[in-house]
């Protein structure tokens, strides 16, 4: 088991070096914007930020637990990554185009090709034989009906997902408190960026996905997300020796 972990760690290290070389080549080709080494690192390890050693994570995010981000860094990240909002589509496609988009999937195309094959067989047999094979025409109609019904059911599922995401948007607070340049500021939730220090208090709704680094007796109620009414107690993982045990699981 230890050999396998060492092998995975070595393999990821080699891949990371190759990724950095490729990223540096791409940076030379780009004239408008060149990401820094920390930004490339965040793009690669974005899924492991909740397990990474806390001090190293702060240095990669270029933030501080006392002073937070600078205003210039926050504005640059907001312009680069976009606002802190849920991905809800504001522009709706016409009904026919949405239905066609859900119909022409992999399974839908197979159903359509099967219907076309049944129709071609019916026409060919009708022209080369006196007997009319009506079974192929009936199969073509059934397959076309299944093709349209499949896309319609997928569209209904998408509508339910959009309504659920819209309901989650109503749970988000409009304003929150962050630490910028060592001072507390009240900003819109949409302007929260990665690396912001967000102090929270009792009864407050969280403005984004947060990692807790200092708390005592904190409990979070996730009934709107999970359906469980019991609050969940939060244990911060800011201590390096404890955090190192968790981060070793990703290698």
Helix axes 134-171, 106-128, angle to 10 degrees: 160
Task: Check if the beta carbon of residue 20 is closer than 8 Å to that of residue 45.
Answer: no
pLDDT at 89: 61
pLDDT at 178: 92
- Residues sharing a CB contact under 8 Å with residue 121, sequence separation 6 or more, in sequence order: 133, 136
pTM as predicted: 0.55
- Structure tokens of 183? 């001072």
**C-alpha pair distances (Å), 89 with each of 92, 93, 102, 176, 249:** 7, 10, 16, 24, 37
Over the chain (251 residues), what is each successive 10-residue block's mean pLDDT?
59 62 53 66 79 83 87 87 74 76 87 91 83 84 92 82 69 86 89 89 84 82 73 66 42 33
């Amino acid at each position: 088991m230890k050999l396998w972990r060492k092998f995975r760690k070595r393999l990821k290290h080699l891949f990371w070096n190759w990724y950095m070389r490729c990223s540096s080549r791409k940076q030379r080709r780009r004239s408008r914007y060149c990401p820094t080494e920390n930004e490339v690192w965040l793009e690669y390890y974005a899924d492991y930020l909740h397990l990474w050693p806390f001090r190293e994570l702060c240095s990669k995010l270029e933030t501080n637990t006392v002073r937070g981000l600078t205003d210039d860094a926050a504005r640059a990240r907001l312009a680069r990554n976009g606002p802190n909002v849920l991905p809800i589509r504001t522009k709706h496609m016409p009904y026919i185009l949405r239905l066609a988009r859900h119909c022409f999937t992999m399974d839908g195309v197979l159903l359509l090709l099967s219907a076309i094959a049944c129709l071609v067989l019916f026409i060919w047999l009708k022209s080369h034989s006196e007997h009319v094979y009506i079974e192929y025409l009936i199969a073509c109609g059934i397959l076309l009906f299944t093709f349209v019904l499949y896309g319609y059911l997928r569209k209904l599922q998408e509508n339910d997902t959009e309504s659920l995401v819209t309901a989650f948007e109503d749970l988000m607070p409009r304003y929150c408190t962050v630490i910028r340049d060592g001072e507390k500021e009240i900003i819109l939730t949409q302007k929260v960026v990665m690396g912001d220090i967000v102090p929270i208090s009792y009864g407050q709704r969280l403005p984004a996905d947060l990692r807790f680094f200092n708390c005592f007796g904190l409990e979070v109620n996730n009934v709107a997300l999970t359906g469980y009414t019991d609050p969940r107690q939060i244990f911060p993982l800011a201590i390096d020796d404890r955090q190192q045990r968790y981060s070793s699981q990703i290698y």
